[in-house]
């Protein structure tokens, strides 16, 4: 069975979907959840599953120590795959070169990269946005796209209502991509 490390920053609904799938399908196991702040709900979810949670509180973007600590902590767990699932920090190290790393993003990349994808789609008056899973590279939300699905913007949507619908799609999409990578169905190497 393949081993994954999940990175998250907050609520952890994507982490929860992965943890549910790992308990049911036995195709991958989550060796740890790594979070960048204290007292996240994602950690509460991990505790319920008996999955170790490691807190590496973020300091600031100039903090090379934090970047190094994150990379070393993740690599020490020797994962087959790193999954950024609602991790709201830019990873400036070369972690993705040392271990395959994927990221879930709440838009149809390359549209609306960055930390405010849902608000940006609404502000732009988009009729359709969506969910993407992509390989991580040195850019911000620029790596090779592995899966995408559209989500229609409804009249009266707020960023909260739209984001909830996107997350429902993301949960299924991310589990599917991780399952396919870990089962060998989806090749992400050269
Ligand atoms: C998800 O929509 C994920 O795509 C997004 O954060 C949310 C996490 O939800 N990530 C980004 O925006 C990264 N740029 P969750 O905390 O409920 O799993």
Please state the φ and ψ torsions of residue 34, each to the nearest 5 degrees: -115, 125
Which protein residue has the closest C-alpha to ligand 1 atom 6? 86
What CATH number should be reported for the domain whose range is 2-105+131-142+171-183? Answer: 3.40.50.170
* CA–centroid distance, residue 39 to ligand 1 (Å): 17
Q: How many CB atoms lie within 10 A of CB 75?
A: 15
Per-residue model confidence (pLDDT) at position 93: 94
* DSSP H helices in 50-138: 64-76, 95-98, 117-123
Q: Show the ligand 1 pocket: residues with CB < 6 angstroms.
A: 8, 10-15, 85-86, 88, 104-106, 115, 117, 166-167, 170
Residues labelled as active-site residues? 105
- Of the pLDDT bands very low, low, confident and very high (cuts 50, 70, 90), residue 60 is confident
Query: Mean of the per-residue pLDDT values for the chain?
Result: 96
| Percent of the chain whose pLDDT exceeds 70 | 99
Whole-structure pTM value: 0.97
- Of the pLDDT bands very low, low, confident and very high (cuts 50, 70, 90), residue 133 is very high
Confidence check: pLDDT of 190 > 80: no
Q: Locate tokens 């490691």: which residue?
A: 54
**Which of 10, 14, 118, 169 to mutate to test ligand 1, by most ligand atoms within 8 A of the CB atom?**
14
């Amino acid at each position: 069975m393949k081993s994954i490390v999940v990175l998250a920053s907050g609520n952890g609904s994507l982490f929860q979907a992965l943890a549910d799938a790992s308990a049911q399908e036995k195709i991958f196991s989550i060796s740890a959840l790594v979070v960048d702040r204290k007292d996240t709900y994602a950690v509460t979810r991990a505790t319920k599953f008996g999955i170790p949670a490691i807190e590496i509180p973020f300091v600031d973007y100039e903090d090379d120590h934090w970047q190094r600590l994150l990379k070393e902590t993740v690599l020490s767990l020797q994962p087959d795959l790193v999954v950024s699932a609602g991790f709201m920090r830019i990873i400036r190290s070369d972690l993705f070169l040392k271990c395959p790393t994927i990221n879930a993003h709440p838009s149809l990349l390359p549209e609306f990269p960055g930390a405010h994808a849902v608000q940006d789609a609404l502000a732009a008056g988009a009729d359709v946005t969506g969910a993407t899973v992509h390989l991580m590279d040195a850019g911000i939300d620029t790596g090779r796209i592995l899966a995408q699905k559209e989500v229609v913007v409804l009249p009266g949507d707020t960023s909260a209502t739209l984001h909830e619908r996107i997350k429902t799609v993301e949960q299924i999409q991310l589990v599917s991509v991780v399952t396919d990578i870990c089962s060998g169905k989806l090749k992400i190497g050269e």
